[in-house]
Copies of this chain bind each other. A is one copy, B any other.
Amino acid sequence: MEQPILDQWTAFSVLLAKISGYREAIGLLHWDLRTGAPRKGTEIRSKTIGMLSGELFKLETSPEMGRFTELFSQPEINSQLTDVQRKIVKDCRKEYERSKSIPPEKYEEYAILAAQTETMWETAKENNDFASFEPWLSRIVAFKQEFIDYWGVKGTRYDTLLDMYEPDLTVEKLDDIFSRLRSRLVPLAEQIAASPNKPNGDILNGTFDKEAQEKFGLFILKQMGYDFDAGRLDESVHPFATGLNPGDVRITTNYLPDNVTSSIFSSLHEGGHALYEQNIDKNLVGTPLAQGASMGIHESQSRLWENMIGRSREFWHRYYGDLKQNFPETFKDVEAEDFYRSINRVENSLIRIEADELTYNLHIIIRYEIEKLIFNEGLTVKELPEVWNSKYKEYLGITPPSDSLGVLQDVHWSGGDFGYFASYSLGNMYAAQILHTLRKELPEFDSQVSSGNLLPIKEWLTDKIYRYGMSETPSQIIERVTGEPLNPDYLADYLEAKYRDIYHLEQAE
């Protein structure tokens, strides 16, 4: 790199590090609010978070950011950059242009409306009152439609929203992917529903001491290779992971007195997110690339650990003895195989966040299809409950008895997060595809899991995925690691094999 360019890059790096510092501070303020900040300080705290977020936004849309990203985008200069530098410039420029394209007063109006609409949503859900919520959500949709025009439409209008969460994936690609997935999962769910060989969920009932739950959770996290010198485990109402910096990636869980699997699987899930961020290459620290590649790739890493490893027969072959030792009363007459089957029960249920590994994807496909109807086909908010209920009937065979248990169940839309849901199911598909490669490249995979030798798995994932952070796009990662683009058949294959065995299903007729 020529010296004057190098000097400019150094100055740009200072701006990027400052942005990272603000993110770390805001992350800690949030973490603290959710893990034990005193009640009486939360109002001022929220204002402080708002103020610092405003300062961060100013940096990301500052004239310097505009100048640097324009400079480094010039072909003759861009060609002197490394791949990582080019990705930084591209992402920052995209974010800059997107933010700059909306008039600030318009965005502020929207931010206030979104906060109010979330409050309205809470009340509407509580009172099963979609009618009162409808005008609010309609205004949010109208804003989003306006924003799409500001941002510029590439492909369909809904593509513009999807692009915010999962770059590379378009409506065209996702239509194909989700329809292939749906065509295999709907019949599988029907076969399971018809199967007489149902696991017994009652064996999981019991009363579970909090200290014992915590002890077991810590043990499992250590087994996964979660580094407690670069993180910590706390409690919060809703479990989450937050990477303040790669040396400080925290997770939380929630101990339920009558359900031990909840905290175990949330620890495996958040632990998966955390392993990713703890193992990002140190050279990316202080840049916007020191985070997960996308929502979908991040979710693939949590679900790989939670579901593919944590709900496998091999995993419990190794760890069921430890669980039993911690809760001897509850599990004294329960066999490992019965435990394994019961944590893998499939039920066509109404609520997404309670869904199993299989039907979860159908909940997501329904949301994807509805969002697409809103933004590409002009479906009105008024029509949502009817469309929602008919899709639940069609894909899951059940009709919500109320909107609270139906279209009102998720917070996302009230906050304007359209295009986000797809990432959850993409996570499952990425995970299954990565698992397929992992099994090929680590032929000892099954025996490693069943002997609790999990570190080689963490190392493989570090080498293939974690260390890259956001320096590649989701599709680059998935193609480099697995040799082909996202293919939903891996998830369908995985689920079919798993549930045929658990539910003793016939081979597909």
Return chain B residues, CB-CB under 8 Å to A44. 24, 245, 247-248, 285-286
Q: Is A17 an interface residue (CB 8 A)?
A: yes
A35-49: CB near B (< 8 Å → 1, else 0) gives 011111111110110
Interface centre among A232, A245, A246, A285 (most CB of B within 10 A): A245
* Neighbour of A247 across the interface among B41, B51, B229, B245, CB < 8 A: B41
Is chain A's interface secondary structure helix, strand, loop, or mixed overall? Answer: helix
Q: How many copies does the complex hold?
A: 2
Closest 7 CB pairs of A and B: A41-B248, A40-B247, A41-B247, A40-B230, A21-B48, A44-B245, A21-B51
Tell me the A residues contacting B by CB distance below 8 Å.
17-18, 20-22, 24-25, 28-29, 32, 36-45, 47-48, 51-52, 55, 227-232, 244-248, 250, 285-286
C-alpha gap A250/B36 in the complex (Å): 11
C-alpha gap A95/B438 in the complex (Å): 61
Q: Are B18 and A248 in contact (CB under 8 A)?
A: no
Q: Are A21 and B52 in contact (CB under 8 A)?
A: yes
Q: Are A17 and B232 in contact (CB under 8 A)?
A: no
A285's nearest neighbour on chain B, judged by CB, is B44
Q: Are B37 and A248 in contact (CB under 8 A)?
A: yes
C-alpha gap A36/B232 in the complex (Å): 8
A40's nearest neighbour on chain B, judged by CB, is B247
Q: Are B285 and A41 in contact (CB under 8 A)?
A: no
* Neighbour of A45 across the interface among B22, B55, B228, B245, CB < 8 A: B245
C-alpha gap A397/B334 in the complex (Å): 74
Closest Cβ–Cβ distance, residue A286 to chain B (whole Å):
8
* Neighbour of A51 across the interface among B18, B40, B41, B245, CB < 8 A: B18
Return chain B residues, CB-CB under 8 Å to A231. 38
Q: Are A38 and B285 in contact (CB under 8 A)?
A: no
User: Would you mind naming 13 contact pairs between A and B with Cβ atoms under 8 Å apart?
Assistant: A18-B51, A21-B48, A25-B48, A38-B228, A38-B232, A39-B247, A40-B227, A41-B245, A42-B247, A43-B247, A44-B245, A45-B244, A45-B245
